[in-house]
Structure 1
Amino acid sequence: MVRVGLTTERLIRAGAELADEAGFDHVTVAALARRFDVKTASLYSHLKSSQDLKTGIALLALEELADRGAAALAGRAGKDALAALANVYRDYAREHPGRYAAAQLRLDPETAAASAGVRHAQMTRAILRGYDLTEPDQTHAVRLLGSVFHGYVSLEMGGGFSHSAPDSQETWTRILDALDATLRNWPAP
């Protein structure tokens, strides 16, 4: 029998907390059952599988990131907007490493189309309007920004910059300056 108070949403939120504590790779329905001190089978009335749980965590993370991004971008344009969105991703990854990893989960096309991932692309394209880019350069720029933000954050979280000077914050600031300059002076095809 399912313990009173367990819902799909509560289980996904608990899974997200587990991801932040133990790592996204360690999130399973069995691990979640241990957290609630229930039998694994009792959770299958709320979750189809561990993959279903991981997809739920990914969707939660994308929604949280999109909400933070939208709030950070309000009233900003150009480099200020670029830095605000970049800092949202970096700060979220630091606060919620497991959820950040979940946000990178490859979703099936139907789920992805209905997710907050669409809002992320819209926010990035909104930033790029301030740089006067047209297609296909706008798509190239979206990919560049996503690659740099995720790449830097992943390397930093993995300890890649912890033992060298200059400070990683100084490098991050310089990277944002370089991205702004690149976007302002986008090369012609």
Structure 2
Amino acid sequence: MASVAIELVDDGGTAGFDRLTLAAVAGRAGVAVPSLYKHVSSLDDLRRLVATASVAELTRVLASATIGRAGPDAVRAAADAIRAFAHRHPGRYAATQVAPSSDPADAQLVARADETLTVLAGVMRGFGLSDDELVDAIRMLRSAVHGFITLELGGGFGLPDDLDRSYAVLIDGVIAGVERLAA
């Protein structure tokens, strides 16, 4: 059932996660909505399952892309992995942007999000950042990449110029910012 929901989320593009409903999952699975309650207690529970699976998958992708890399090379690899994930799985990418709450029901999502942060912290450690600077650097990277992805997938870049070149310039700017932060 979670796999059906994940397919629906990606089929819905960047808005797929926001548009996820129990009725849509039941329809895709060929069952009645009440049958879903054997697997999930609510739409919030279903959304939590999709978000948790999506964050776990993004973390695996990030870890694979950055293992054995350091400094600017690691930052580029992480950024490229996030962007590629968003292009392949726009709905899942949107699901990764859900911040877990302190609700005990979000415990698995919190654990998966912590794993993502651990990978991103590893990417930034090569710059010799303090703990506070590490948080700032991770937020800088996530914000820049997410902003670019959001505009790119939403059709917000109307100029005919090469998007990959602009993206590379953005990541170079992030790296310069992290290096300045570390100085």
Q: Quick check: TM above 0.5? A: yes
Classify the secondary structure of the residue corresponding to 2:38: coil
Classify the secondary structure of the residue corresponding to 1:85: helix
Residue pair 2:4, 2:29 contacting (<8 A) in 1 also: no
**Aligned counterpart for 2:2 among listed residues 1, 12, 28:** 12
Q: Calculate the aligned-residue CA RMSD, in Å.
A: 1.6
Alignment of 1:4-83 (within 5 A): 11-22=1-12, 23-83=16-76
- Give the distance between the partners of 1:151 and 1:117, measured in 2 at CA: 19
Alignment of 1:154-169 (within 5 A): 154-161=150-157, 163-169=158-164
Structure 1 regions of 5+ residues with no counterpart?
1-10
Question: After TM superposition, what 4+ stretches of structure 1 lie above 4 angstroms from structure 2?
Answer: none
Corresponding residue number in structure 1 for 2:132: 136
Alpha-carbon shift at residue 120 of structure 1 (Å) = 1.4
Classify the secondary structure of the residue corresponding to 2:149: helix
Residue pair 1:65, 1:89 contacting (<8 A) in 2 also: yes
**Amino acid of the residue matched to residue 79 of structure 1?**
P
Alpha-carbon shift at residue 166 of structure 1 (Å) = 2.2
Q: TM-score, normalized by length of structure 1?
A: 0.88
**Amino acid of the residue matched to residue 176 of structure 1?**
I
Residue pair 1:30, 1:40 contacting (<8 A) in 2 also: yes
Alpha-carbon shift at residue 114 of structure 1 (Å) = 4.1
Corresponding residue number in structure 2 for 1:173: 168
Structure 2 regions of 5+ residues with no counterpart?
none
Query: What whole-Å deviation, never above 9, does each CA across 1:85-120 have from its counterpart, x for those lacking one?
Result: 111111111111111111112322242564311111
- Give the distance between the partners of 1:120 and 1:149, measured in 2 at CA: 15
Query: What whole-Å deviation, never above 9, does each CA across 1:10-62 have from its counterpart, x for those lacking one?
Result: x1111010011121122111111111221110110111111111110000100
Classify the secondary structure of the residue corresponding to 1:185: helix
Classify the secondary structure of the residue corresponding to 1:26: coil
Compare 133-142 and 52-61 and name the one that shifted more: 133-142
Equivalences, count: 177
Residue pair 2:75, 2:123 contacting (<8 A) in 1 also: yes
- Give the distance between the partners of 2:178 and 2:101, measured in 1 at CA: 31
- Give the distance between the partners of 1:154 and 1:79, measured in 2 at CA: 23
Corresponding residue number in structure 1 for 2:96: 103
Residue pair 1:62, 1:115 contacting (<8 A) in 2 also: no
Corresponding residue number in structure 2 for 1:4: none
Identical aligned pairs, as a percentage? 35
